[in-house]
Amino acid sequence: MARFLSGVRFQVFYFGVKTLNEFGHEHVYDAVEKPLLFAQTAAFLEVLHSLVGLVRSPVSATLPQITSRLYVTWGILWSFPEVRSHILVSSLVISWSITEIIRYSFFGTREAFGSAPSWLLWLRYSTFLLMYPAGIISEVVLIYNALSYMKESGKYAVRMPNKWNFSFDYYYASLVGLAIYVPGCPYLYSYMLGQRKKAVSKTKAA
């Protein structure tokens, strides 16, 4: 399963970079849309794996990751086409796919062979140092850009009065979402740094 998903992500990466080179950043989204939507949505299974204990990562680390991915993929890019031509879509797609190809290959080889090669281990625990900030900045800017379109269109809003006395404003919910990035990013980044420390010390001891 891990190998299949890394294959899909490789597709995303390949098409993304190809389109970027040939046609410019405005067209990257259209080129990668289908495999991107598929791959990101399938990733919600990761949370399931965490919960069930199949993967060792805690739910507190996988859940924010997956939530932000699904939110940006479906809630921003798919919902607001005006944002798709932004240049940071390219950096988003590239940083996500690199991270995930490495991650899934890592798990895949562990699944298949019992352990992963040390260069792959190094990649998994080192590329995030650059990919995380790149991905996070892309996500935040894209969400921010979508905000004005949310307000204008009133998409996904539930207004009162209604029988269930409930209202929902996607614009404000997104502001809350952006606010969550403020404590969320240091938490995830330091979690990965901690994981890196553990992984590196393990290989030294081995």
Partner 1 sequence: MIPKMKVLVVTRSGKELIKGGLQLNDSATVADLQEAIHKRRNAGGDELRTSRKYYPSRQRLTLPVQPGSKERPTVLHYQKSLSEYTKGSTSELTVVFKDLGPQVKYSTLFFFEYLGPLLLYPIFYYFPVYKYFGYKEERVIHPVQTYALYYWCFHYFKRIMETFFVHRFSHATSPISNVFRNCAYYWSFGAFIAYFVNHPLYTPVSDLQMKIGFGFGIVCQVANFYCHLLLRNLRSPSGNGGYQIPRGFLFNIVTCANYTTEIYQWLGFNIATQTVAGYVFMVVAAGIMTNWALGKHRRLKKLFDGKEGRPKYPRRWVILPPFL
Q: Tell me which residues touch partner 1 (CB under 8 A).
A: 160-167
Residue 82 among the catalytic residues: no
Residue 193: CB atoms within 10 Å: 13
* CA separation for the pair 59, 172 (Å, rounded): 26
Between 117 and 154, CB nearer to partner 1: 154
Residue 189 among the catalytic residues: no
Q: Which residue, 93, 83, 91, is CA-closest to 34?
A: 93
Q: How far is the CB of 168 from partner 1 (least distance, A)?
A: 9
Between 21 and 162, CB nearer to partner 1: 162
From 104, 139, 170, 171, active-site residue: 139
* CA separation for the pair 74, 97 (Å, rounded): 17
Q: Which helix (H) or strand (E) holds 123?
A: helix 118-124
* CA separation for the pair 67, 73 (Å, rounded): 10
Torsions phi, psi for 158 (to 5 deg): -115, 125
Q: How far is the CB of 144 from partner 1 (least distance, A)?
A: 22
CB contact at 8 A, 18 and 31: yes
Between 56 and 163, CB nearer to partner 1: 163
From 14, 26, 71, 132, active-site residue: 132
Between 74 and 172, CB nearer to partner 1: 172
- Positions annotated as catalytic residues are 132, 139
